[in-house]
Amino acid sequence: MKKIFTFIAMVLAAAGVYAAELTVADGTATSEKMPIRGYYGDCFTHNQVIYPAAYIQDLKGASLTSMTFYVSSQASAAQTPVYTVSLAIVSADKFTSDAYGSSYYFLTDETVKVYEGTMDASQATVTVTFDTPFAYNGGNLLLDIQTKTRGNDKDSEFLGLSTSSVLSVFANGFGGGQPGTSGSGESFLPKTMFAYTGEVSAPCVKPANLKADSVAPDYAAVSWTAGGEETQWQAVCMAGNAAADWSGAVLVNEPKAAFANLQPTSDYTIYVRSYCAEDKQSFAESITIHTACGKVTELPWSEDFSNADALACWELQNANVRIFSGALMFGLNGADSLVAAMPEFDAAYDTLALTFNYNTNSYNATLELGYISAEDAFVALGDAYPKTKNYTLVEDVLLNTVPAAAKRLAFRYAATEASYVYVDNITLKVAPEEVVTAIEQTEAGVKAVKRIENGQLVIIKNGVRFNVLGSAL
């Protein structure tokens, strides 16, 4: 995140008296309108900028003596209009628009004139040295600049910061007329260096080096370093990229924080700011995290691969296993095999049954259902499924032989030539009771074999064939 303000100070006394400078809105955005618009130098113009209190809180208690603005594109010659510059403390922290959002209203608060003269942007900076210092004791600061005497029209641009709110408004009159009560708004704050004297509190500097130390399916821990001498911080975790809601923040006395009860495979933004006083906090630093995959806890579970993120919690052997045309595709360029392991489930696999569709484009390709063992090896469950070039339904495959130590269920695709296979419409559920009963009626401990015979799922145990309803064939 771009550092949005820089504090530069020379300490004159241990009591906290500074002759100092504070630079705010140190960004790379540009504006041809703020703080002045040289292109309309031959017209009467009106500019207003709101500096929200959060940007200039370190000036509280100071006497402002000048403002310096930074030019990104200089005027081709000296600009000659004469401006009146005034300041005020206002309650508004942004400008409001008309019902159509096309124009923004100038503030009408009473202001204090601090300067009258030219503002020439033909150089790298424009400094306005106040005729009378302005006492700043906190709050939102309004900068009001109006043309007193028209001059030449030499265009220029200024550096600044793009903001989430409209903080600047500009309008110009024509043919010697005055601007109206509203103008065009910009979500822009000009880069400004305030020079000041007086006794101010120590700066409240935002934290640095924010990083994620641990991210689990339902938990995240972050840490950072103090930006200055701060000893307290506020931290808050927001779903997605939502803005910080500090009413729910935690206050910590160490540069670290943890958040529980998060949702697996979800995005969160964590914000941290220095807490220096009830009315003084720094700007926030932020970091975006993505929680890890958790075990699937609800059954039945289905996957039709219609979502681009459907494989987020699968373990894929390589990029040749991917979603294509709304299905899980295994693609090979020659003789080889591929494994795709399903998400982890918080259930005993030997009590479950799996249903899916599949098809291949080659009779030299095979598809197997199995599991990933504790040793990270693929173990097949029974025979490979018959080759088919049409989608075939494999229904209620019993997983009663999957050991408790198995990590994940998985598919393996093998071929002796370039080919592919699609798997789709997977459903994992508790095994139908009648099928389980049929298996239990055979000799305990004997492995059941599942295979397709004439398009029908058959369970073979002790030489006896059962259909999916548990009836002997």
DSSP string over 25-49: ---SEEESSSS--GGGTTS-EEEEE
Here the tokens at position 365 are 């390709």
Is the pLDDT assigned to residue 63 strictly greater than 50? yes
Q: What is the pLDDT of residue 456?
A: 52
Grade residue 407 by pLDDT with cuts at 50, 70 and 90. very high
Q: What is the pLDDT of residue 442?
A: 46
Mean pLDDT computed over 345-371: 86
Least Cα distance to 134 among 83, 169, 85 occurs for 85
Delineate the domains of the chain, giving CATH numbers in brackets: 5-199 (no CATH), 208-290 (2.60.40.10), 301-466 (2.60.120.260)
Cα radius of gyration rounded to whole Å, the chain = 34
Chain-wide mean pLDDT for the chain?
Answer: 86
The C-alpha atoms of residue 282 and residue 56 are separated, in whole angstroms, by: 10
Q: Mean pLDDT: which of 18-27, 349-358, 390-399, 445-454 is highest?
A: 349-358
**Contact between 33 and 157 (Cβ < 8 Å):** no
Grade residue 240 by pLDDT with cuts at 50, 70 and 90. very high
Least Cα distance to 354 among 420, 415, 410 occurs for 410
Is the pLDDT assigned to residue 448 strictly greater than 70? no
pLDDT digit string, tens, across residues 242-298: 989 999 999 999 999 999 999 988 999 999 999 998 888 888 999 999 998 888 888
Q: What is the pLDDT of residue 244?
A: 92
Q: What is the pLDDT of residue 385?
A: 83
Grade residue 351 by pLDDT with cuts at 50, 70 and 90. confident
The C-alpha atoms of residue 354 and residue 369 are separated, in whole angstroms, by: 10
- 284-308 burial: b if 16+ Cβ within 10 Å, else e: bbbbebebbbbebeeeebebebeee
- SS3 call for 434: helix
**Contact between 336 and 310 (Cβ < 8 Å):** no
What percent of the chain lies above the pLDDT cut of 70?
Answer: 87
Is the pLDDT assigned to residue 14 strictly greater than 90? no
pTM of the model: 0.61
Residue 13 CB burial class (10 angstroms; 0-12, 13-18, ≥19): exposed
The C-alpha atoms of residue 210 and residue 353 are separated, in whole angstroms, by: 46
Is the pLDDT assigned to residue 452 strictly greater than 80? no
Q: What is the pLDDT of residue 430?
A: 87
Q: What is the pLDDT of residue 435?
A: 53
Grade residue 462 by pLDDT with cuts at 50, 70 and 90. low
Counting other chains too, the contacts that 314-317 makes at CB distance below 8 Å and 24 or more residues apart are 314/340, 314/341, 314/342, 314/343, 315/340, 315/341, 315/372, 315/408, 316/340, 316/341
pLDDT digit string, tens, across residues 248-261: 999 999 999 999 99
Element (H, E) at 160: strand 157-162
Is the pLDDT assigned to residue 438 strictly greater than 70? no
The label of the residue with tokens 């339902």 reads 218
Q: What is the pLDDT of residue 460?
A: 59
Is the pLDDT assigned to residue 174 strictly greater than 60? yes
The C-alpha atoms of residue 179 and residue 211 are separated, in whole angstroms, by: 49
Phi-psi label, residue 190: left if phi above 0, alpha if psi -120 to 50, beta otherwise: beta
Element (H, E) at 433: helix 433-440
Here the tokens at position 134 are 């302005």
Mean pLDDT computed over 193-215: 90
Is the pLDDT assigned to residue 139 strictly greater than 50? yes
